[in-house]
Amino acid sequence: MLRSLFAGVSGLRNHQVRMDVIGNNIANVNTVGFKAGRVNFAEALSQIIRGAQAPSEAQGGMNAMQVGLGVQVGSIDTLFTQGNLQYTGNLTDLAVQGDGFLVVGDGLRRFYTRDGAVVLDADGNLVHASSGLRLMGWQADAAGSVDTAGPLSPLRIPVGTHIPPRATTNVTFGGNLDAAADAGVPWITTVTVFDSLGNALELVVEFEKTGTNEWTWTARYGGTDVGTGTLTFGSDGTVAAGGSTAVTFDPGTGADPLSLTLDFSALTQYGGNSTVSLQQQDGYATGSLESFAIDGNGVITGLYSNGRTQVIGQVALALFANPGGLLKAGSNLYAESSNSGPAAVGEAGTGGRGALTAGALEMSNVDLAQEFTNMITAQRGFQANARVITTSDELLQELISLRR
């Protein structure tokens, strides 16, 4: 009789554990990046009343007789299914689509999270909003190069910093020179180039027809000729000779002498108006950081006031052989355990880590319909086990009444 009481008590106790997990799931239905838990029951020990008997020549075998001693919690699992994405428009919010985890740390400890609510602190560090831990990845060097094979470091947006200027080295021209132009009538175009200090310089280039399919060009800076050459066109109207020439001059600004390669190879000589102009030049002035963006591979690219872009860093993602083995550390964080396996840190979009979506957050994967259904079954299970206890108590009462 006492066995049924103990079985009923174990049912009450463990259905209460299931309700605890269900309640926690429902409480976190709107928690960013939350992963629902699940309780699995397992049969407890069984008492053997009679062992199994093997068959003999005289009679058949008999199965063992066992009475179960209740239920126990077999496991409490974390379900790492993908949650839906919610777009926030915040540049620093990150949602992981895949199996990866964002890496955060404080210099001593390292944690992992699916909660991509990231903000900037006063020093420009990218910080996990719930815990204050810094987002980890690889910071780019001054040239914008990222070494993803190197150690992780906190990611920082260099707000207010500048990128150095770059002197122009290549100038490419495009457009047409009028094949019907009169000799001695120049066509003049002005292009802007930059010295090593980022100063904008006006370079005047004059084209003058000197013969059939032949033009001379002269480059002037500050009224002084700094280079000249001859362009020869073929019968098809394209450049046949003299398409590229180097010129060097001192800009007089305290910067290094400027060495330019003038590329005229894209010019044409067709009948029609002359339209030669600058097509491209590779120099630029200094610029300050104005904004930044994060792409699907976690690459953080800064946009500068001079129109240039440069890589600032790259967000790292971690992958685990058994994410269900991670330990919950609060504030939407997880820590490694002996059964999760070590973190395999790498770039987003590689190794099954998944991609990043900036300006979005991953919602909780709690299914309310499923949780309410689980709540009903847990409640009925609790009630049924309570009825086992009351019925066993009534039977014991009848046994005690036999003495009267």
pLDDT tens string 175-199: 999 999 888 889 999 999 999 999 9
pLDDT band at 64 (very low <50, low <70, confident <90, very high): confident
Asked if residue 22 lies in contact with residue 371, where contact means CB atoms within 8 angstroms, the answer is yes
**Which residues have CB under 8 Å from 112's CB, separation 6+?**
101, 102, 103, 104, 318, 320, 326, 333, 334, 335, 336, 343
Strand partners, 200: 194
Q: Are 29 and 11 in contact (CB under 8 A)?
A: no
pLDDT for 92-104, tens place per residue?
Answer: 999 999 999 999 9
Rounded CA gap, 318 and 137, in Å?
10
Sequence ranges of the domains in the chain: 2-49+64-80+365-401, 85-163+288-362, 170-281
pLDDT: which is higher, 68 or 329: 329
Residue ranges with strand state E in 109-186: 110-113, 118-120, 126-128, 134-139, 153-154, 162-163, 170-174
Query: Mind listing the pLDDT tens digit for each residue in 287-335?
Result: 899 899 999 999 999 999 888 899 999 999 999 999 999 999 999 999 9
Read off the pLDDT of residues 28-45 as tens digits, 9 standing for 90 and up. Answer: 999 999 999 999 999 887
Q: Is residue 97 within a helix (H) or strand (E), and if so which, with residue range?
A: strand 94-97
Pairing of strands 118-120, 37-43: unpaired
The values of phi and psi at residue 323, to 5°, are -65, -25
Mean pLDDT of the residues in the chain: 92
Q: Alpha helix (H) ranges present in 228-367?
A: none
Strand ranges, E, within 264-350: 277-281, 287-294, 299-304, 309-319, 327-330, 333-335, 344-347
Nearest partner of 165 among 198, 205, 210, 125, judged by Cα: 198
Tens-digit pLDDT profile for residues 106-141: 988 999 999 999 999 999 999 999 999 999 999 999
What DSSP element (H or E) covers 207? strand 200-211
CATH topology of domain 170-281: Tick-borne Encephalitis virus Glycoprotein; domain 1 (2.60.98)
Q: Flag whether pLDDT at 1 surpasses 90.
A: no
DSSP 22: H
Sign of CA dihedral 5, 6, 9, 11: negative
pLDDT at 57: 84
Looking at the DSSP bridge assignments, the partners of residue 62 are 53
